[in-house]
Structure 1
Amino acid sequence: MEQFSSFISGLAADDSWSRVSSIKNAMASLIEELGSGIVVESTEYFNHTFAPDLILHWRGENVTRAVYLRATENPEYIREDISTLAHEAPIIVPLTGSWGSQETDSLDADSAEAKTLVAQPSALSEFAEGQAGSPILGLLSKAVAQGGRGVIDGRRARTVSASISDGFVAAQAADIDRTQEAVNTTASILDELRADHFTRLLQAVWVGSGAPASTFPGAATSIEHLGAIELELLLDVATSATFEFWKRIASNVSLETLSETRISTASSNLQFLMKAGLDHFRAKGLRIAATEPGPGSDAGDKWLWFTQPGAVGLQASRFTTFFTPGSISDIDVSDTAETPLEIGLSELLDRARAAEIRVEGLTLEDDIGRQITYRSPAETEIWRDKVLYALTQSLSNRSKVVSATITLQSQKNLKCDMEKMTASGRTGAKFTLSELVQKAIPTLRSLSEQERREISQMHDGE
């Protein structure tokens, strides 16, 4: 605060515009410390009634917020600004002075109702310093910048930060009183949207830790289906969570929700969530493409999960598999589409035997376009079917498998298109990721012994 007061006191000097520039640059730098995604745009105005001094943007988000710097601490002037600018729900930063408790309480009520944040520089500094070493406080810092409301000085910023940090610890221990305090805190300083995100996030931690959803002390909210925003937040902030924690979270998340997010392979929490949810998450189909590094990571020889709009991906060293809750035609892999090697009947059956896959039927085609579509009798393993081998003799020596239908453990049939490198069932049919990983990938792709072993280990517990 003293830094800005000294600037303000010299505004009447000959270099006043230089001082204004210094004030705005210092404030922009302070606001940028609230989070890595903030972009601060400076305008040509200063202390203007209707034109903001700064405009905040967030990379990758359609969110902006105006910032008005004020060279006065007069509470009546600030109150007038709150009323005049209420339609913008801006941030107002008084650069000098402070108020007594009565004035503060009155301004807090007015600004909270107007969804306007009146933040002293000391408050912004507290949030910036807190978020640097804490993912949870990083989320709080961003939420305050985007949707904070009410009057916040340095002391209140410290109190709010402590309450939120303690609330997440309390939610993991199902501590009703401390969790309730955190819920109340977010409701008092954030707009309804962001307060709801925090409440649902706290409830997710509460349920993930094993406590019944009905005992959560926040506002009534369903966690039957955790939303994409709350899921991304949880994956960002969760620490030391157990396999059982992620299993409970997975039971409240759909593949549709996952495919609305963009989470890189660098997220260790996503890896835990996917491993815990392999038997829960369901996809309509998959497509295999040549490996291109997943967003934000060097995969090496690992199998790593990532998400992108429309699909959940599993990246291996030689290829990437995209699972979708929708149509496989919606998966855009045009830049990485893999040119499949033509495989013969013996190669397909070798793959099936190695992965214990039941092949129900297949289509073969030779180099002049003749096709045979064959389905073995019930209870007959296709690689033992002498009739099939006899039929293949009518094709030329250069025949290939065009598609194969396999039966999964759920007794559903899955058609694997060996040319398009896709797998899907009948309209509306969905399959667990566990089934698709264990059976579809080994059918479509030749795997080394190590890769087959890694796939089997993927389904292990902790």
Structure 2
Amino acid sequence: MATAVSQGFSGAQDVDRERTAAAVSVIESSLDSHESRRLKNVLQAVWVGSGGIASEFPGGAIDLSSQLSADALSFLLDLADLSDRDFWDGLAKSVDFEVLLSLESMGETPAFQRLMEACLSRLQAKACIVRADRGGPISSDTAYRWSIDRGALSLRGHGHQAWISDRLQGIDASPLTPSDLPRVSTIHGRVKRAAIKVNEFEATNSTESLKFASEDGGDVFAREDISFVTTALGHDAGIRKATTTLRSGHHLDVNFGAWSASGRARAKLPLNEVAWVALTLLTPATGTSLAELARVLFGEAVDSEER
């Protein structure tokens, strides 16, 4: 039986009808209908991930939806060749955010990093929450790594962890008091380093709050001088909220008191852009960590002229 599965996996990788069909025949005659369907679903996932057409899978298409089951994806992550980029690119076409979250839990394995690298540009999300990392041994220079944690997609590294999901609720968070909010000057520096467009923001001190916005929808932080804020609220003024415009044109609201970022209404946004804004504005990412984050999320170096 193990030999049949191995040969079927190899045949599906090569989109070889004869070898795959032989394995399917052994599986169907050796297992009950439930286990047989489960294994054939895995083989079909490999078939499609390797460039085959689902309807042409030997033994009949098991699932024509083009989505993987959690069982199939877990199996593939355990067995797939990490060096086969074509396989990962093909597999990514069958993976969306819902499929990833169906895994429920997934460690920071090399295979999961390859999968995320291949499918990240296609994924959409709603919200992101960031915290100083307390989930395990991690230092300020630890590389960013993907996992599934607490029912959300997680990106952990350089002293912080982000949970990215299709909803904002679900991760406990204590709000920050006004005195704990990042200073306007701090966020101004982060915005410049990450080349993020801020349309409006709300600043506050111990007694009052003011909202600052660009009348034409432009970047309110485009100017180098931010004395217009400190004159009104003092040099210790903190930022409570900000509205940013992503490269895709969508708006993302950042709540510094809750360490979170979310899209509006039912909008689903490019996941890599959501994570970029959240991690660069809510954490002190600079230098090496900023460059690595850009590579992980976009496959590129930081370029303030283009981002």
| TM-score, structure 2 normalization | 0.87
Please tell me the residue identity of whatever aligns with 1:232.
Answer: S
**1:367 partnered with 2:210:** no
1:215 maps to what in 2?
56
**1:351 partnered with 2:193:** no
Please tell me the residue identity of whatever aligns with 1:348.
Answer: I
Q: Is the contact made by 1:200 and 1:223 (CA closer than 8 Å) also made in structure 2?
A: no
Q: Is the contact made by 2:15 and 2:47 (CA closer than 8 Å) also made in structure 1?
A: yes
Shift of 1:386: 9.2
Larger radius of gyration: 1
Q: Residue 405 of structure 1: which of 223, 232, 243 is its match?
A: 243
Unmatched segments (≥5 aa) in structure 1: 1-159
Higher RCO structure (Cα 8 Å, ≥6 apart): 2
Q: Is the contact made by 1:324 and 1:331 (CA closer than 8 Å) also made in structure 2?
A: no
Aligned counterparts of 1:257 and 1:429: Cα–Cα separation in 2: 19
Q: Residue 323 of structure 1: which of 158, 164, 170 is its match?
A: 164
Shift of 1:165: 1.0
Query: After superposition, what is the alpha-carbon deviation per residue over 1:269-301, rounded to whole angstroms, capped at 9, x for unaligned?
Result: 10001111111121110101121346xx87871
1:144 maps to what in 2?
none
Q: Is the contact made by 1:203 and 1:223 (CA closer than 8 Å) also made in structure 2?
A: no
| TM-score, structure 1 normalization | 0.59
Q: Secondary structure at the match of 2:120?
A: coil
Please tell me the residue identity of whatever aligns with 2:106.
Answer: I
Shift of 1:308: 2.9
2:305 maps to what in 1?
none
Unmatched segments (≥5 aa) in structure 2: 301-307
Shift of 1:268: 1.0
Q: Is the contact made by 1:204 and 1:223 (CA closer than 8 Å) also made in structure 2?
A: no
**1:285 partnered with 2:114:** no
Q: Secondary structure at the match of 1:330?
A: coil
Q: Secondary structure at the match of 2:266?
A: coil
**1:377 partnered with 2:215:** yes
**1:433 partnered with 2:275:** no
Shift of 1:401: 0.2
Aligned counterparts of 2:134 and 2:21: Cα–Cα separation in 1: 45
Q: Secondary structure at the match of 2:90?
A: helix
Q: Secondary structure at the match of 1:218?
A: coil
Q: Secondary structure at the match of 1:394?
A: helix
Shift of 1:341: 4.9
Aligned counterparts of 1:413 and 1:404: Cα–Cα separation in 2: 10
Identity of aligned residues (%): 28
Please tell me the residue identity of whatever aligns with 1:372.
Answer: L
1:386/1:376 Cα in 2 relative to 1: closer, same or farther (>3 Å)?
A: farther
Please tell me the residue identity of whatever aligns with 1:202.
Answer: L
**1:456 partnered with 2:299:** no
Kindly tell me the number of residue pairs found equivalent between the two proteins. 295
Q: Secondary structure at the match of 1:224?
A: coil
Q: Is the contact made by 1:367 and 1:396 (CA closer than 8 Å) also made in structure 2?
A: no
Query: After superposition, what is the alpha-carbon deviation per residue over 1:9-66, rounded to whole angstroms, capped at 9, x for unaligned?
Result: xxxxxxxxxxxxxxxxxxxxxxxxxxxxxxxxxxxxxxxxxxxxxxxxxxxxxxxxxx
Aligned counterparts of 1:229 and 1:388: Cα–Cα separation in 2: 53
Q: Residue 142 of structure 2: which of 293, 301, 318 is its match?
A: 301
Shift of 1:445: 1.4
Shift of 1:399: 1.1
Query: After superposition, what is the alpha-carbon deviation per residue over 1:173-227, rounded to whole angstroms, capped at 9, x for unaligned?
Result: 1110110111222222222222222111111111211222232113222252112
Aligned counterparts of 2:176 and 2:159: Cα–Cα separation in 1: 10
Q: Residue 414 of structure 1: which of 233, 237, 252 is its match?
A: 252
Aligned counterparts of 1:345 and 1:298: Cα–Cα separation in 2: 29
